[in-house]
Structure 1
Amino acid sequence: MGEGQGGGIRWAGPGTVRVAAVRLSGAHRVWASYMGVPAAVDAAFLVTDGGALVGRGYYTSVEELAEVVDLSALTPY
């Protein structure tokens, strides 16, 4: 997760869907904890659509991510 100024890797999906691999620190840690992500998890996929969280927003595995996003439709950006 060292790419880009934000330190994460990002993908675009259909419409305004965006997926980013993020470190769970600072505000991301607070939001992820609020959404039920265990404290021991230090990174997750953040999913938004038009800036709004999709589902619980933070997904800790590709399997969880695939339940809310069509992975084949994602392209890096």
Structure 2
Amino acid sequence: MEGARGEGTRWSGPGGLRVAAVRLAGAHRVWASFAGVPPGVQAAFLVTDGGAFVGRGYYTSVEELAEVVDLAALKPG
């Protein structure tokens, strides 16, 4: 997830669902801290639907992400 603006770092799903791989710095670090992401974690998946967090919003592994998102329904972009 380093260089979080590279190709393949964003996906979309049904409706307004969006998943992005983000570096946890600045505002992302603050929001992730509120979501319970430990301070040592440097990157996470951010999940939104219509601009609102899905669940806690930030997920640190594909396994955690799969608990709230149907990964098969995601498309690049």
- The TM-score with structure 2 as length reference comes to 0.92
Q: State the number of aligned residues.
A: 74
Question: What letter is aligned with 2:25?
Answer: S
Gaps of 5+ in 2: none
State the alpha-carbon separation in 2 of the partners of residues 66 and 13 from structure 1. Answer: 13
Q: Tell me which residue corresponds to 1:66.
A: 66
Q: Which amino acid aligns with 1:31?
A: W
Q: Aligned residue for 1:56?
A: 56
Query: Is 2:45 the counterpart of 1:45?
Result: yes
Q: Percent identity?
A: 78
Q: CA deviation at 1:47?
A: 0.1
Instruction: Give the distance between the partners of 2:74 and 2:29, measured in 1 at CA.
Output: 25
How high is the TM-score relative to the length of structure 1? 0.92
Instruction: Kindly report the root-mean-square deviation, in angstroms, between the aligned alpha carbons of the 2 structures.
Output: 1.2
Runs of 5+ consecutive residues of structure 1 not aligned to the other structure = none
Correspondences of 1:15-30 after superposition (within 5 Å): 15-30=15-30
- Which structure's relative contact order is higher, taking Cα pairs within 8 Å and 6+ residues apart? 2
